[in-house]
Amino acid sequence: MTEKLAILGGPQAVTSTIPSYISIGQEEIGAANRVLKNGVLSAFHGSWSDKFYGGPEVQRLEEAWSKYFDVRFSVSMNSATSGLISAVGAIGIGPGDEVIVSPFTMSASASCVRVWGGTPVFADVDENLFTLDPKQIKKQITSRTKAIIIVQLAGQAADMDEILSLAKEHKLFVIEDAAQSPGARYGSKWVGAISDIGIFSLNCHKTIQCGEGGVCVTSNEDLAKKMQLIRNHGEAVVKDMDFRNQPEKIIGFNFRLGEIEAAIATEQLKKLDGLNKSRQNIAKKLNQRLSGLEGLIIPKVGENRSHVYYTYMMKLKAIEPGITRHTIVKALEAEGVECHEGYSSPLYLQQLYQDTWEGKGKQNYSNGACPVTEKLYEKELFFHTYLYADLEPMLDEICHAFEKVWANLPALSKLSFKKQDR
Ligand SMILES: *Cc1c(COP(=O)(O)O)cnc(C)c1O
C-alpha cells in the first residue's frame, strides 16, 4: 500500500509551514543600534577628501572582508549589481568590446556589460555544474573579446583552471560573480578571489545579508581604485586624486553602502562559516535520502572544490512516460515542499537583447543559441532553498515527500495538467 498523494487528496507529508530564512540575530541588532546612536548613517563624500572612502563601519567591513577572503582590496557597494557594473567599468569595457557571459543566471550578471556599451556574448553552461563550460567559452572568443564573467552558481565554482588558462592565452580579464557562493573553496582559494575581480551580494535572499549590499574584491590596486571611483562620483574626484593611471573618462555613480548596512554585514561575515557548515550538513542528508530515486539527479560537485549550497539544484531525467517536471513539482508542492522550476530563463531571450543596438553585430540572441541552458530551463532543472539550520527538524518530512511522490509515479502519470499550467 502506498500512501495517498496530497495532490490526489491524501495527507501532506510536510506537516508544518516551512519558516523563512532569517540569519539576523542579537549581534546585528546591536551593531545597527550602535550606528543609530552615533547618528552618522553615511560618511561618504563625492570629492577627493578623507571622506572619499566612506565611514568607519564601511571601512571596518572592507578590512574584515579582505582578511577573510585573503585579498588586498575590498570595495563595498550598495548591491552586487552595482558591484558588477563597477567591475566591468574598471576593466575598461566600452562599445565594440565583447564580454563572454552566462545565459543561466540573474539578469545583472550580463546586463552589466550593456551599461558600458559593451556586447554580451552568451556561451552555454556545463550540464552538471550549471556554470559556464570552458569548451563553449573557447568557441566564443574573437579578436574583440576583452573579458569573461563567470557566475559561480548555486554555491560552487566553475572549472576555473581551464577558464583561467584560456583567459591567459587570450589576455582576457576574468570577473567572478560570486553572489551565490561566499565561503566556497576552489583548490586553495576562496571562490570570488580566484580571478581579477570577484563580486558578492549582501541582499536579503543571500546566505549572509544586510538588506541590500555587495562587495567587490581584487588584489589589483589599479582595479580597486577604479571601482572606488565608479562607486563614488569618480568624474568629480579623478582630477584631484593622485592616480597615475588616470582614467579621465571615468563616470561615477552613487553605489555607496550605508553605515548601518555595513555594520550589519560585518556581523554577518562572522557567521558565514557556521551558516555554510549547516547548509553542507543538510545537503549531505538530502543527498543520502534522495540519491536513490530513479531519474532524480542530485547536485554534482566539481573536482577540487567545495559547494556551499545556496540552492539545492536537482535535475530530472525521463522517468515514467507522461510524467514531466511540472507534474513532479506540483505533486511535491502539494506535499508542502516548495520547488522552483528551471531557474532563470535564458537571458539572451530578454527584450534587452532582442532590441538592436550598435554593438549587437552578429550575436545570436535567439532560441537555440545555448541548447544546454534551454534544456535545463525548459525540462530538467528544479531546485529548492531548504538548506538553513531551522529546517533541520523538518528534513525527514521533506525527504519523505520526495519518497512518497516517487512511490506513486504510476498514479501521477494519469494526472494531466492543462497547457496553460505550464
Ligand atoms: C543575487 C545575485 C546578483 C545580484 O545581487 P544584488 O545584490 O541583488 O544586486 C547577481 N548575481 C547573482 C548570481 C545573484 O544571485
pLDDT tens track for 169-207: 999 999 999 999 999 999 999 999 999 999 999 999 999
Question: Which residue's CA is the nearest one to ligand 1's atom 2?
Answer: 179
CA of 90 to the centre of ligand 1 (A): 19
| Pair 159, 134: CB distance under 8 Å | yes
227 phi and psi angles, rounded to 5 deg: -70, -35
pLDDT for position 420: 47
* Residue 315 amino acid letter: K
Question: Which residue's CA is the nearest one to ligand 1's atom 14?
Answer: 179
233 has which bridge partners?
A: none
User: 181 CB less than 6 Å from ligand 1?
Assistant: no
- Alpha carbon 217 to its chain centroid, in Å, reads 15
Ligand 1 atom closest to the CA of 83, numbered from 1? 9
- Give the chain's residues under pLDDT 50: 419-420, 422
CA of 158 to the centre of ligand 1 (A): 17
CA of 151 to the centre of ligand 1 (A): 10
User: 350 CB less than 6 Å from ligand 1?
Assistant: no
Question: Which residue's CA is the nearest one to ligand 1's atom 6?
Answer: 80
CA of 358 to the centre of ligand 1 (A): 27
pLDDT for position 359: 64
Question: In this structure, what C-alpha cell is assigned to residue 27?
Answer: 549581534
- Which residue out of 203, 212, 216 has the highest number of ligand 1 atoms within 8 Å of its CB and is therefore the one to mutate? 203
pTM above 0.75, yes or no: yes
| Pair 261, 288: CB distance under 8 Å | no
pLDDT for position 402: 97
314 has which bridge partners?
A: 382
Half-sphere exposure of 199 (CA within 13 A, CB side): 30
CA of 179 to the centre of ligand 1 (A): 5
